Amino acid sequence: MEQVNDATLAAARKVIAVHINYPSRAAQRGRTPAQPSYFLKPSSSLAVGSAAAPSTVERPAGCELLGYEGEVALIIGKRARRVGIEDAWSHVEWVTASNDLGVYDLRYADKGSNLRSKGGDGFTPVGPGLIAADSVDPAGLRVRTWHNNELVQDDTTGDLLFPFARLVADLSQLLTLEEGDIILTGTPAGASVAKPGDVVEVEVSTLEVSTTPGGAELTTGRLVTRVEEGATPFADFGAQPKTDDLQREEAYGSREAAGLPAQAAPALSPELKAKLESVCTATLSSQLRKRGLDNVSIDGLTSTRPDRRIVGLARTLRYVPNREDLFKTHGGGFNAQKRAIDSVNEGEILVMEARGEKGTGTIGDILALRAQMRGAAAIITDGGVRDFSAVAAMDMPTYYSNPHPAVLGRRHIPWDTDITIACGGTTVQPGDIIVADADGILVIPPALAEELANDSIAQEREEVFIAEMVQQGHSVDGLYPLNAAWRARYQEWAASADAGQPHE
């Protein structure tokens, strides 16, 4: 069998990796892409390793989370440019094993490109053996990964989200795949974190469906990589390693595997959300007032979708007044505004503190569209909105102070996220429940939400009865609010309604 060697690595002008391709990985991540997406790894990240001569990789000094991902690698043997799916596999010459290594500690630094987190020297070992692509069924391959001799990944290519031929054809529509280029085709569930002293092994084999005489199983043999501790710290003029529990959870695959405590039940269950959606903010406001909470409304804003009622958990973003020297360090690149937009989750509401400043925009069409694509329920800002016509045309509501053509740098610096802020005259904390409709915007403490919703539903039911009585000609004296006599009649009305009897 042919072996990966230095010439194989030298021939790879491009290394292209797929984000998510195995159903097991999609289930683990909680998202299934409709189309493949990719990132580039530099050819300088390539290495080769075997049982006889393992490759070595450094976990960079100061880093905690060196992730490994066993994958099937395809090596292009014939130039591919705008090829179809039916012809794409003929452009692949070899199949081999790969380990898509990366440090989650630097994931934030090049959001989306993965350059520093995935591009380090030795971060893409491949090999050791090469399986001829024309001798296998691409849907009949098996990839396995061992971490310190324990089997941690074991999956097949039979039900990929994006079969290999589709990846080759798709990539070739825009860029030319050249002889020697390598495509990493995604990893199944089970990828995790390796520490200095650990050994990770990856093997790709056929499922006894090769087209060689006798149909014998073909295998790459085990690609072996040893992890070492880096000794040279990062220079202070570049991004420094940093991590949090979200990165630990993603690197290990689950909170449990990362040794993190289980998350508490969400403050906004589907059942509670449905209850809050069924009642008006006017009703909720009166119930909040009964509990001594008067300053819980975000005031002075207009909605692009006043016909919509929204309920969601608050995420927060704070702008501070522009100061030119600080804008240079905090205003550009993947700043707090972009981080907030790019991390908002399905059903969440991004609330912005803009100090009521009307002299510039705080959100425009591109970032609003990004929030909508991520599933945000709404954006709320007590500042201005740019590109107003485009933002107003979106399905996602935006609550705003006024339209304004200027960019935020005229008056604001995006400063920090997911902290306690002030917006529209009230305090908003991450995780507060926001309810908004045509009457206004309320901020509900999560601990009160269930009781508040139940009492609001009861109040609105009483008000249905009161409205019926008014329509019948009764005076509101003693009826609104209910005195003892009217409450007795209401209870009879409610009982008959519960029994399915017509109202009298």
pLDDT at 75 over 70: yes
The arithmetic mean of pLDDT across residues 42-49, rounded, is: 94
User: Quick one: pLDDT at residue 210?
Assistant: 46
Handedness of CA 176, 178, 182, 185 (dihedral sign): positive
pLDDT at 499 over 90: no
- Residue type (1 letter), 452: L
pLDDT at 244 over 80: yes
390: domain CATH number? 3.50.30.40
pLDDT at 211 over 60: no
Q: Looking at the structure, tell me whether residues 437 and 470 fall in a common domain.
A: no
| Number of domains into which the chain is organized | 3
Q: Looking at the structure, tell me whether residues 462 and 440 fall in a common domain.
A: no
Q: Looking at the structure, tell me whether residues 116 and 11 fall in a common domain.
A: yes
Q: Looking at the structure, tell me whether residues 464 and 404 fall in a common domain.
A: no
Q: Looking at the structure, tell me whether residues 72 and 205 fall in a common domain.
A: yes
Q: Looking at the structure, tell me whether residues 433 and 466 fall in a common domain.
A: no
The arithmetic mean of pLDDT across residues 77-86, rounded, is: 96
Q: Looking at the structure, tell me whether residues 29 and 92 fall in a common domain.
A: yes
pLDDT at 503 over 70: no
- CA R_g for the chain: 29
Dump the DSSP string for 465-491.
Answer: HHHHHHHTT--STTTTTT-HHHHHHHH
Q: How far apart are CA 55 and CA 52, in angstroms?
A: 10
Compute CA distances 359 → 324, 352, 406, whole Å: 17, 15, 8
- Under DSSP, the state recorded for 3 is B
Per cent of the chain over pLDDT 70 is 97
User: Quick one: pLDDT at residue 213?
Assistant: 53
Structural domain including 493 reads 458-498
Dump the DSSP string for 91-143.
Answer: GEEEEEEEE--EEGGGTTTTTTT-HHHH-STTSEEE-SB-EEGGGS-TTSEEE
Q: Looking at the structure, tell me whether residues 432 and 465 fall in a common domain.
A: no
- Report yes or no on 453 lying in a domain: no
89: domain CATH number? 3.90.850.10
Summarize pLDDT for 429-465 with one digit per residue, the tens: 999 999 999 999 999 999 899 999 999 999 999 999 9
- Report yes or no on 263 lying in a domain: no
- Report yes or no on 266 lying in a domain: no
pLDDT at 158 over 80: yes
Q: How far apart are CA 281 and CA 301, in angstroms?
A: 15
- Report yes or no on 87 lying in a domain: yes
Q: Looking at the structure, tell me whether residues 93 and 133 fall in a common domain.
A: yes
- Report yes or no on 48 lying in a domain: yes
- Report yes or no on 115 lying in a domain: yes
Q: Looking at the structure, tell me whether residues 347 and 420 fall in a common domain.
A: yes
- Report yes or no on 451 lying in a domain: no
Summarize pLDDT for 360-377 with one digit per residue, the tens: 999 999 999 999 999 999
128 preceded by cis ω (within 30°)?
Answer: yes
User: Quick one: pLDDT at residue 1?
Assistant: 77
Summarize pLDDT for 161-185 with one digit per residue, the tens: 999 999 999 999 999 999 999 999 9
pLDDT at 204 over 80: yes
Q: Looking at the structure, tell me whether residues 101 and 224 fall in a common domain.
A: yes
- Report yes or no on 64 lying in a domain: yes
User: Quick one: pLDDT at residue 332?
Assistant: 84
pLDDT at 72 over 60: yes
Q: Which of 225, 252, 279 is the last residue of a domain?
A: 252
**b/e map of 305-340 (b: 16 or more CB within 10 Å)?**
beeebbbbbbbbbbbbebeeeebeebbeeebbbebb
pLDDT at 390 over 50: yes
Average pLDDT across the chain, whole number: 92
Q: How far apart are CA 215 and CA 356, in angstroms?
A: 72
Summarize pLDDT for 87-146 with one digit per residue, the tens: 999 999 999 999 999 999 999 888 778 999 999 999 999 999 999 999 999 999 999 999
Q: Looking at the structure, tell me whether residues 307 and 233 fall in a common domain.
A: no
Q: With contact defined as beta carbons under 8 Å apart, do 89 and 138 qualify?
A: yes
